[in-house]
Each structure stands twice: as structure tokens, then as C-alpha cells.
């Protein structure tokens, strides 16, 4: 199965700098979006460091140049284990940088990554950066936000409508560089020809709801670069309150 991909990042209409970072590695079918936190320069450091650490481990693991750093999950495919380990190592690198340089205290990053092998997409995420799938014109959210507000929705204390405008909606409960240990959610998705996967930072999803994202993709999904631009432009048209990053990948025949 051949995969086409395109990505775009933009600082938005309010912030003067961009703390998001993304990577498209067609050679390894690796796609990553990270949303840095910690203020000017620090968030940029965390997101770039995390993405590069993930890419580096995937390269080394698949070439056999590295020992396995964590327990292997036999319930997951090998490439899913590789991606999960890569995210955990990225977390360790962010923590190490903070310990080595006190000026970086408080930095961190969310991340969502995808690694495709033999028609199966491994998805790994920490925080509130998301992954979606568009199949047959229908959009499906594939990840669950690691946020305080989403936890309240799951527990039944808030509705989805209340959560969308809640003042604490951007408070994440997991991030790379946060606690000493990090739990990485991993999911495996069987891809079909024509499927389009969207990886994005919350700069998109705080401006557009799922139905609006679906409508935008349905109009322009055939041209991935046009779809990326349309999503970013629409987020900015709604206010562009945050950096916005989108990566689209499509399974071709």
C-alpha cells in the first residue's frame, strides 16, 4: 500500500511564535505532530526534541542498531512497539534536558505519531494532539484527549458541549516532560485504500469541531496540500488563537 502525505504548520493569528513541530518521513512511513508547552523558545525546544528523538529511534530500531529499551508488548505489532518505545524515549530526553538546564524547567510537549507497515497504522499519543480517520466521507476520532476536561466528560460530570467552552479545556494531564513516567496510548488501525488520516495539534480542534473538520476534508481531501491549507485557513478565520499544525496521509491503491 502506497501512502501520500502532506503537512503544514502556522503560528495562528494571536501568538507571535510557533511551538508546534511536525515531521513527515516517507522513507519510514513515519508521521509525527508535537505541540510544545512552556513559553517562548522552551515549547519549541521540547516539540522539536521529541519529534527528532522519535524519528531517530525508529530509524535505529528498524536498522537493528539499537537494543530494546522497554518491555515488549506481545499484543502489539512490532512497528507499534517501536513507535511506543520511541515516544517513551522522547519523554526521557525532554526530562534529561530539563535536568541539565534549569532554564528549561516547565517545558513539555504533547505528541501524536503514526507509523505504517503492511497496511496497518500504529498510532501513539500523549496529551491532546489528535488523530482522526476519514473513511467514506465520515470522520472518526481515533484518540482520546489526556486532559482534565475530557476526564470529566468520561466520568459523566461534564457534557461534550460544556467541555468545549470550559475554562480548563486546555489543561493536559499527560505530556512528554511532565511526570517521571509517562503512559503512552497506542492503537492499531487497519487502513483501506482511500482512507485519510489526520494528525493535528489542538490549535485546530479548539477552533473547529469535528463536523467542521469533516466538511473541510470532504471538500478537499483529494488534494492533500489543498486540504492542509484549507484546515489551517479555516482555523485562522475562526480566530487562530493558537499555533495550528496538520499532517494528512492517505492510503492509495
Task: Indicate the pLDDT class of residue 40, thresholds 50, 70 and 90.
Answer: low
- Whether 26 shows a pLDDT value over 90: the answer reads yes
What digits encode the pLDDT tens for the residues 60-87? 998 776 667 778 888 999 999 999 999 9
Rounded CA-CA distance 49/70 in Å is 20
Q: What grid cell was written down for 57?
A: 529511534
* Higher local confidence (pLDDT), 162 or 9: 9
- Which position has the higher pLDDT, 160 or 237? 237
pLDDT attached to residue 41: 65
Q: What is the pLDDT of residues 155-182, one digit of tens each?
A: 888 777 777 777 777 789 999 997 778 9
**Structural domains of the chain, with CATH:** 2-252 (3.60.40.10)
How would residue 58 be classed by pLDDT, with cut points 50, 70 and 90? Answer: very high
Which residues touch 179 (CB under 8 Å, ≥6 apart)?
none
Examine the pLDDT at 138 and tell me if it is beyond 70: yes
Q: Name residue 15's beta-bridge partners.
A: none
Amino acid at each position: 500500500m502506497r501512502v501520500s502525505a502532506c503537512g503544514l504548520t502556522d503560528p495562528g493569528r494571536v501568538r507571535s511564535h510557533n511551538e508546534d513541530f511536525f515531521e513527515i518521513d516517507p522513507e519510514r512511513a513515519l508521521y509525527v505532530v508535537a505541540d510544545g508547552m512552556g513559553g517562548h523558545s522552551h515549547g519549541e525546544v521540547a516539540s522539536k526534541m521529541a519529534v527528532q528523538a522519535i524519528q531517530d529511534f525508529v530509524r535505529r530500531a528498524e536498522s537493528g542498531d539499537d537494543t530494546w529499551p522497554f518491555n515488549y508488548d506481545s499484543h502489539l505489532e512490532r512497528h507499534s512497539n517501536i513507535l511506543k518505545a520511541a515516544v517513551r524515549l522522547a519523554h526521557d530526553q525532554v526530562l534529561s534536558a530539563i535536568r541539565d538546564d534549569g532554564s528549561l524547567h516547565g517545558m513539555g510537549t504533547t505528541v501524536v505519531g503514526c507509523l505504517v507497515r503492511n497496511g496497518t497504522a500504529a498510532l501513539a499519543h500523549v496529551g491532546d494532539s489528535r488523530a482522526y480517520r476519514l473513511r467514506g466521507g465520515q470522520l472518526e476520532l481515533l484518540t482520546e484527549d489526556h486532559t482534565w476536561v475530557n476526564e470529566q466528560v468520561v466520568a459523566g460530570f461534564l457534557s461534550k458541549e460544556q467541555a468545549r467552552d470550559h475554562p480548563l479545556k486546555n489543561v493536559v494531564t499527560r505530556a512528554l516532560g511532565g511526570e517521571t513516567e509517562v503512559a503512552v496510548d497506542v492503537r492499531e488501525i487497519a487502513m483501506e485504500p482511500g482512507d485519510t488520516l489526520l494528525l493535528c495539534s489542538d490549535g485546530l480542534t479548539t477552533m473547529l469541531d469535528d463536523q467542521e473538520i469533516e466538511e473541510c476534508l470532504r471538500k478537499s481531501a483529494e488534494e492533500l496540500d489543498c486540504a492542509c491549507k484549507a484546515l489551517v485557513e479555516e482555523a485562522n478565520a475562526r480566530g487562530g488563537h493558537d499555533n495550528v499544525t496538520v499532517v494528512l496521509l492517505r492510503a492509495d491503491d
